[in-house]
Amino acid sequence: MQSVNSISRRSALRATAALALAAAPATPAASPRLKQAVCRGPWRKFTLDELCQHCVRIGIKGIDLVDHTEWPTIQKYGLMPSMTPGAGNIPDCWNRLDNHENLVKQMEENIPRAAAAGVPNVITFSGNRKGMPDGEGLENCAKGLNRVTRLAEEKGVTINLELLNSKVNHKDYMADHTAWGVELCKRVGSPRLKLLYDIYHMQIMEGDVIRTIRDNFAFLGHYHTGGVPGRHEIDESQELNYRAIAKAIADLGFTDYLAHEFSPTAPDQIKSLEKAYEICNV
Amino acid sequence: MFCDSIVYGMLTRRSLLRTAAAAPLAASAADTGGRIKQSVCRWCYSKISLDDLCQAAQRIGLKGIDLVDHTDWPTVQKYGLVPSMTPGAGNIPDCWNRLDNHEKLVQQMQENIPRAAAAGVPNVITFSGNRKGMPDGEGLANCVTGLNRVKKLAEEKGVTINLELLNSKVNHKDYMADHTAWGVELMKRVDSPRVKLLYDIYHMQIMEGDIIRTIRDNFAYLGHFHTGGNPGRHELDDTQELNWRAIATAIADLGYQGYFAHEFIPISKEPLVSLEQAYKTCKV
């Protein structure tokens, strides 16, 4: 556990950061129903400090996919590292038994570290098929994840296995449909194993977004966004009505983060992020 | 909306502009229309007489009425509208995927295609039929066999046969033509410019998503479109998950010449207002 001292130091820093930014023109809405986050990757042309400052001003609460070396910077602004490395990578992960030893080790390092820093989520994957039948991959994933769910439960950190499209961006990825992921969660049966439902990826693979979210809400731990087709702005230029989707998620009482993960095409990438925030601010 | 004009003094410049923009549409007899010809399905407005629906369609700017029997065509045409989709052969559960049905289906097409042609009606509708345990490959082969018997007539008469894609997850359990890929494979095998797919956006969003890419990749095989909010099949408004304007824009950008027909069940108390809103949303 953390000492009382370091907690108060952190909240003091947060208060200072908030004060410093109180003069910013746009004040975020009082208490939005949905906590929004942003993935670090697409906004890499900004320093982490710059991105954090924009997030605070916009009303964004977290930064996704950030390494532990970056957490202090994020937390300095009162933001949450909302999704962090867990184990493995997209093509090589839990669906192969050979990987398990290595993956368990990574989780044993990453889960306690996340817990110690008050970080709620770690990310993981299925791995690619490489000719393996989905049923066999499912069994292997269940076996592997069963070795780390107790640790996640004890530490209060959620393992999020990401659903990705295998049609356009991640050919051969196994966890490419919600049904497969939900079956995995049911077999593992831990409140600390959930799916990262990436709306962009799942619109490409299966559509029926709102119904799928409603029907499987208990198994969905986190969301990513992105315009379809193209993975750009989530505005009127693409086929999904993100505001309705965000409303449906908020109506279900979702308490984790909805994180933007699109590559902005507009010259002002921060404006694109602001607009995405407004669209999903329900 | 209308109360804006009552509290005129309170109008901001923006709402004044909005009112000004809306005024010509509200007052005019017919909208000049956007790049896409829009249409509406008759059955969704069954409480309204066909004459009333046609008058509303004309006023709104719609160009056609979908799913109307030949006895209704004179009424539709009286208003300068096109019966944009009409009965072809079979029904949703029983159609071309069973060889036993072919004789009867061919007869229906031999009656309906020439009648459509004679009246200047561009489209007839048909279906795959339900699976009832039949493998998709076998159903595909049977559909090819059957449609091959009527495509020449359709080509000669200049009428397009549209086989509809429907969802088998929520509304039409067990329907075979429930994915674009299956339908496109059928189109490739039949290989006629007069046999196309009716791509129902509502149904395909339920089954497979990826709407704009799918339309772009398979545009040559798509003869007609239907709409409907998802989930629920109601208004194309901000409560449902699709951005219809972006989809309509993508279709218009492809140079689509057919009809784009609204097939949602309005839940508002003013169904014709819902229809007009859908028209405006998709007018690109």
pLDDT digit string, tens, across residues A120-171: 999 999 999 999 999 999 999 999 999 999 999 999 999 999 999 999 999 9
Structural domain containing residue A211: 4-280
| CB-CB under 8 Å, B208 with A241 | no
| CB-CB under 8 Å, A210 with B238 | no
Assess contact for A229 and A200: CB atoms under 8 A: no
Size of the A and B interface in Cβ pairs below 8 Å: 76
Domain ranges of chain B: 37-282
Q: How many domains is chain A partitioned into structurally? A: 1
CB count in 10 Å sphere of residue A263: 16
**CATH number where A166 lies:** 3.20.20.150
Q: Could you give the ipTM of this predicted complex?
A: 0.89
Tell me the whole-structure pTM to 2 decimals: 0.89
Token couple for B46: 């069954």
Distance from CA of B159 to the nearest CA of A (A): 31
One-letter identity of residue A119: V
| CB-CB under 8 Å, A209 with B246 | no
Interface residues of B toward A, Cβ cutoff 8 Å, are: 169-170, 204-213, 230-231, 238-243, 245-247, 250
Assess contact for A227 and A234: CB atoms under 8 A: yes
Distance from CA of A223 to the nearest CA of B (A): 15
**pLDDT tens digits, one per residue of A174-185:** 999 999 999 999
How much is the pLDDT for B32? Answer: 66
Interface test with A, best of B203, B205, B213, B243 (most A CBs within 10 A): B243
**pLDDT tens digits, one per residue of A225-268:** 999 999 999 999 999 999 999 999 999 999 999 999 999 999 99
Assess contact for B228 and B190: CB atoms under 8 A: no
**pLDDT tens digits, one per residue of B163-205:** 999 999 999 999 999 999 999 999 999 999 999 999 999 999 9
How much is the pLDDT for A30? Answer: 57
Alpha helices in chain A (DSSP H): 4-21, 48-58, 71-76, 100-116, 134-146, 149-155, 178-188, 199-205, 209-215, 242-251, 269-280
Q: Which CATH architecture has domain B37-282?
A: Alpha-Beta Barrel (3.20)
- B153: burial class by Cβ within 10 Å (0-12, 13-18, 19+)? middle
pLDDT band at B16 (very low <50, low <70, confident <90, very high): very low
Distance from CA of B206 to the nearest CA of A (A): 4
| CB-CB under 8 Å, A239 with B169 | no
Residues 6+ apart with CB under 8 A from B56: B48, B272, B275, B276
Interface test with A, best of B206, B219, B241, B281 (most A CBs within 10 A): B241
Assess contact for B60 and B275: CB atoms under 8 A: yes
Chain A environment of B251 (Cβ under 8 Å): none
* Rounded Cα gap, residues B53 and B274, in angstroms: 13
How much is the pLDDT for B33? Answer: 78
